[in-house]
Structure 1
Amino acid sequence: MTRRSTSRRRFLGAAGAAALGGLAGCANPFGGETTEGSGEELGVPSLSEFRGSGAIVDGRPAPGGTSIDELPDLSGSLNLYIGGGEGGIYKGFIGMLEDIYPEFSVLDSNSPSASLAQTIVEEVEAGATQADLFWSIDAASLGFVAENDAYEPLADEALEPVPADFRGADNAWVGVAGRARSVPYNTDVISESEIPEKVAQFPETEALRGTMGWAPTYGAFKAFVTAMRLQKGPETTRQWLEAMREAGTDRHRNEYLVTQAVADGDLTAGFANHYYAMRVKNQRPDAPLDLAFTNGDAGGLVNVAGVLQVKGTEKDDLITNFVRHLLSAEAQEFFATVSYAYPMIPGVEPVGGLPTVDELNPPDINLADLADLEPTLELMSEAGVSG
């Protein structure tokens, strides 16, 4: 099977098959296990407690990787700056850790990731660091902190399970959950073979003219355009934006609405992060919706939510252990099945038959460079596609 046939269209059939299974049929190495810490038994919940629910989740195999049972106990407090968006889901997992470890607590400050990145840099420069750890929903904000030397390298043992593409230079940060750009399309209207392999081909594809949707105000879309600018140059990117606008691409407020419109048949296809299709399919298993992924360009960008150790913290050991918990089998299963994120470790499958990360072919760019957003906003304005 070629990369294209493996990676572009797998989740529809798998989602239907998964609906036939259930957790009762899964091997569960986590149930009933305990770990010793501070003189008392600490119970780790069963796998089902970490796993989401629904048609695209049922019947999954037990995750591989290191179990929480195998990690040292968490003890102490962390001051965490956590980005908005998926931050509520991430805090749900943190709450589970606090339940497992009574002597562990997290004090969090929740704001947009870009704002928190700026705050961290300013605090470090002023010698008044407040945070121990920064959890950003995107690599751009992590890259901004790293470029301004406001971080301390993470320990090798914390990063070890994650592929190099999803780590910062000098161990500056590590991805804990991924999201892929994708092309949701309506299977009642168009076939997979009609979806272009390159994003540059979309404006000239007759079957898609006037039938596509996008959400230019959305942060993920701006990151996608930034990736195109970095890979193809500003002029080519501006021309593409203009061509898509002139082709009648329909503007929506966010990418979930784009994906819903595709599933409803109001659009033939669109541009969106992969997990919006997962949400639709979990609610509507029979929706005529599938995903395509372009090859080697911005249409197949894989971005990450990740964590960075803030310069000046004195909690190196606790941070190392906490990050290892975020990359445990249970945590990665939680992120994959609750937020439908791409797992960052081998042995944990993405939901719904999605291609694995190593089966995708994203553009060869440094994710930290996505922080350079201003030229992208100027390009979008020039092209009449203002965010």
Structure 2
Amino acid sequence: MNAFMPSRLPGRPTPASRRAFLGGLVGGLPFIIAACGGTEAPAASPTSAPAPSTPAPSIRPPTAAPSAATPVPSAAILEKELVIYSSRKESLMEPTVEAFQKKTGVKVSVKSGGSAELRLLIGQEGGASKADIYYTTDYVDAELLRQKGLLAPFQSSLTDGVPAEFKAPDGAWTGVIGRSRNIMVNTTLVKPADYPASVFDLADPKWKGRIAITRLTDGTPVWLASLILLKGEEATTAFLTTLFKINGMKALNGGSNVADAVAQGEFAAGFVNHYYYVPKKRAGAPVDLIYPDEATGGIGTLVIPLTVAALKSAPHPNVARAFIDFVLSPEGAAPMMTQEGEFPLRPGIPLGDHGADGVRTIDKIRRPAAFDIDKLLAARDRAIELYTPLFT
């Protein structure tokens, strides 16, 4: 069976053996966020934290269960090679690539790098790019490539099943799997009756010295941007100032450190992407996962998609489209769920043994309405500018 060798920038992607790949694994790749300087926000009292006032998001109804396997074009139609530029951690991408190779016989090569780094490379390469597929952990980068006209719209019965907020209007990029932004609590330190129902509950003085959050990585900037769009900049600044300046919230390096600290009882609660909770819960740690702001008037739980797109200049367009359909199928989603407990964005695909107690499928998560991508990008940049002093 063919395997692949992820290559680091610069250089061309090269296929190699599975053994060679395993010898070269590196650590996880967070969202690539360029932190900018800013001025410190003025202090506020606990009562200055915003109370939820936006209309309650609706729960999307589930769709019919997808078929167990997805057909791909015949071998006569498919090209024999596929080149992927991927910002997903190499060890997490490998099982998906191997499954696709086994199903199709196509030789897959992967070039790994940061999401923004690969986006810039694709822009520099233009029509001469060797890439067929751009697989990114930051969908904003996929949108930026779409706006430059570098992605090829693609729609199928499988992409049609992805909720509208997780794909480009023209089908140029499509969400594959998702990460929800949750509150993780230590059940030894927090009784169920005291669980925070909203992120804004953590502005209460009873949480002083008991909260942790990741620095401006792991989806934190996108989450902050969503708060700005949903609650306004003034209310978001007041809320964060209360958390940091009055309640002493600590910013740690990475979601795994936040999950470790909560599981070990160093903090009672922490803001994390759900997949950091999964291994702790499986290992028997005293932790629970909260989906905040689901009550009437709440802002809902943010879900961040990992996305896939075919390049307009793809040398192998047929196999690129086949790969997109494959990763959206239950068969193709299984390797991704196995690795980190992430969930498919197509409703109706069960988690099976891949999740952990308390993790929901996409159709069971009450989410905000879709954001205008340009406004979200501007709000993310503004959040980094404003809140870097608080997070450092």
TM (normalized to structure 1)? 0.75
Deviation at 1:186, TM superposition (A): 0.9
**Is the CA contact (8 Å cut-off) linking 2:162 and 2:345 kept in structure 1?**
yes
Relative to structure 1, the CA distance from residue 325 to residue 361 in structure 2 (aligned partners, 3 Å threshold; closer, same or farther) is same
**Is the CA contact (8 Å cut-off) linking 1:183 and 1:272 kept in structure 2?**
yes
Deviation at 1:99, TM superposition (A): 3.1
Give the aligned partner of residue 180 of structure 1. 180
Deviation at 1:305, TM superposition (A): 0.7
Matched, 1:96 2:99: yes
Structure 1 window deviating more from structure 2 (247-256 vs 186-195): it is 186-195
Alignment of 1:196-215 (within 5 A): 196-203=196-203, 205-215=204-214
* Cα separation, 1, equivalents of 2:363 and 2:94: 28
Deviation at 1:271, TM superposition (A): 0.2
* Cα separation, 1, equivalents of 2:273 and 2:233: 23
Deviation at 1:193, TM superposition (A): 3.6
Give the aligned partner of residue 346 of structure 1. 347
Partner letter of residue 317 of structure 2?
Answer: D
Where 1:190 maps in the other structure, the secondary structure is coil
* Cα separation, 1, equivalents of 2:346 and 2:278: 20
Deviations 1:180-221 (A, max 9, x none): 000000112213342333323321x23322101111132311
**Is the CA contact (8 Å cut-off) linking 1:166 and 1:175 kept in structure 2?**
yes
Where 1:156 maps in the other structure, the secondary structure is coil
Give the aligned partner of residue 363 of structure 2. 358
Deviations 1:9-49 (A, max 9, x none): xxxxxxxxxxxxxxxxxxxxxxxxxxxxxxxxxxxxxxxxx
Relative to structure 1, the CA distance from residue 146 to residue 298 in structure 2 (aligned partners, 3 Å threshold; closer, same or farther) is farther
TM (normalized to structure 2)? 0.74
**Is the CA contact (8 Å cut-off) linking 2:347 and 2:362 kept in structure 1?**
no
Deviations 1:44-63 (A, max 9, x none): xxxxxxxxxxxxxxxxxxx9
Give the aligned partner of residue 295 of structure 1. 293
Partner letter of residue 217 of structure 1?
Answer: L
- Identity percentage over the alignment? 24
Aligned residue-pair number: 316
Q: Give the CA RMSD over aligned residues.
A: 2.3
Where 2:288 maps in the other structure, the secondary structure is strand
Where 2:343 maps in the other structure, the secondary structure is coil
Deviation at 1:333, TM superposition (A): 2.3
* Cα separation, 1, equivalents of 2:88 and 2:363: 28
Give the aligned partner of residue 240 of structure 1. 239
Partner letter of residue 341 of structure 2?
Answer: Y
* Cα separation, 1, equivalents of 2:299 and 2:278: 21
Relative to structure 1, the CA distance from residue 336 to residue 361 in structure 2 (aligned partners, 3 Å threshold; closer, same or farther) is same
Give the aligned partner of residue 217 of structure 2. 218
Structure 1 window deviating more from structure 2 (351-360 vs 250-259): it is 351-360
* Cα separation, 1, equivalents of 2:81 and 2:381: 37
Deviation at 1:158, TM superposition (A): 4.4
Give the aligned partner of residue 251 of structure 1. 251
Deviation at 1:230, TM superposition (A): 2.3
Give the aligned partner of residue 384 of structure 1. 390
Give the aligned partner of residue 81 of structure 1. 85
* Cα separation, 2, equivalents of 1:69 and 1:240: 46
Q: Name the one with the larger helix percent.
A: 1
Deviation at 1:288, TM superposition (A): 1.1
Relative to structure 1, the CA distance from residue 337 to residue 241 in structure 2 (aligned partners, 3 Å threshold; closer, same or farther) is same
Relative to structure 1, the CA distance from residue 94 to residue 367 in structure 2 (aligned partners, 3 Å threshold; closer, same or farther) is farther
Where 1:313 maps in the other structure, the secondary structure is coil
**Is the CA contact (8 Å cut-off) linking 1:227 and 1:365 kept in structure 2?**
no
Relative to structure 1, the CA distance from residue 366 to residue 82 in structure 2 (aligned partners, 3 Å threshold; closer, same or farther) is same
Deviation at 1:317, TM superposition (A): 2.5
* Cα separation, 2, equivalents of 1:251 and 1:298: 23
Partner letter of residue 295 of structure 1?
Answer: D
Alignment of 1:254-273 (within 5 A): 254-273=254-273
Relative to structure 1, the CA distance from residue 358 to residue 157 in structure 2 (aligned partners, 3 Å threshold; closer, same or farther) is closer
**Is the CA contact (8 Å cut-off) linking 1:180 and 1:274 kept in structure 2?**
yes
**Is the CA contact (8 Å cut-off) linking 2:95 and 2:335 kept in structure 1?**
no
Deviation at 1:98, TM superposition (A): 1.6
**Is the CA contact (8 Å cut-off) linking 1:332 and 1:345 kept in structure 2?**
no
Give the aligned partner of residue 39 of structure 1. none
* Unmatched segments (≥5 aa) in structure 2: 1-63
Deviation at 1:66, TM superposition (A): 3.0
Where 2:391 maps in the other structure, the secondary structure is coil
**Is the CA contact (8 Å cut-off) linking 2:300 and 2:366 kept in structure 1?**
no
* Cα separation, 2, equivalents of 1:365 and 1:195: 27
Alignment of 1:47-66 (within 5 A): 65-66=66-67
* Cα separation, 2, equivalents of 1:267 and 1:132: 44
Give the aligned partner of residue 4 of structure 1. none
Matched, 1:229 2:255: no
* Cα separation, 1, equivalents of 2:110 and 2:315: 17
